[in-house]
Each structure stands twice: as structure tokens, then as C-alpha cells.
Amino acid sequence: MKYSRLTKEQFEELHQEFINFLATQSITADEWANLKENKPELAETELDVFSDLIWEGVLNNAEYLEHISPQHMYLFRLGDNKMQAIVLNLKNDVDITTTEGYNWLRENLMDEHVEFFQADKDYSEDKNLDKFKMIEQGAVITKGDLFKYFDKLIN
């Protein structure tokens, strides 16, 4: 398994897609029930393969990632050949994960306690795995509104 297995909730949400996946492998509902009962290791493998397929599709389509912690905001544009990063660093004790802290940041972007950095980062040989590792570390896929806003602001 390349990524991680989908959660029970994710499988429930993707129920129809999983049925279609099994159908492409010529596995009927009865055969699936039989697999789960009599060959659980094979059923586990099917769940893992399906999970990886879903992750590949999600990661291929991801254009932006964000990771926000109390004193840092990491914003990424996921290009074809490299990632572009914008990092905001707070040099005070304002917590931007709270409503109050985020509002402070919005009103004080040019404050001396706010630093901006930009960088480009090349992908490794497996760019989807690079993206997945960032998600595992707390990044979330977004539409890129914050990245676009700060990109205009600092460029």
C-alpha cells in the first residue's frame, strides 16, 4: 500500500465507487461477501488497492495545500514540476488558529511581528507521495484562496 487506507467513513461516502471498482474486477456482491468471510487477507488487499486509487486521484487533482499552526502559516501551490511556498511567521504570541488571532493577523499584516518568506521546492521522484506526506503532517487541500491573496500582496 502506497498511501493509507481510507477510513470507514470515507469508504461509506465512496460506497458506489467501491462497488464500481469491484465490478471492474468482476467481483459481485456475493463474491465480495464470500471474500470477506473466507479470504479476509484478499479482501484487505482489495480495500488497500481501492484506497490507493482514490488517493492517486485526489493527489493528482490537488492544486493547493495549507498548513496553519499557532505561529506559522504554510501555503503551497502545487505546480507540475515544483511547489511554490509562501510562509508567514509570527514573532509574537498571537495564535492564528483562533478567531481572535486570525483577525489580529488580518488587521496587522504589515506589523513588524509578521514575516513573509517565499520559496520553490522541487518534488522528489514521486510528487504525489510528497503531497501525501504533507497531508499526513497536517496540511489540507484547499482552493488556494489564501495562497492567491498573499501571493498578490507580496508580489
**Predicted confidence (pLDDT) at residue 153 exceeds the cutoff of 90:** no
pLDDT in tens, 93-118: 999 999 999 999 999 988 999 999 99
Closest CA to 63 of 116, 14, 127: 127
Confidence (pLDDT) at 24: 92
Burial of 60 (0-12, 13-18, 19+ CB in 10 A): exposed
| Residue boundaries of the structural domains of the chain | 8-61, 64-154
pTM for this entry: 0.85
Q: Percent of the chain scored above 70 by pLDDT?
A: 100
Confidence (pLDDT) at 59: 96
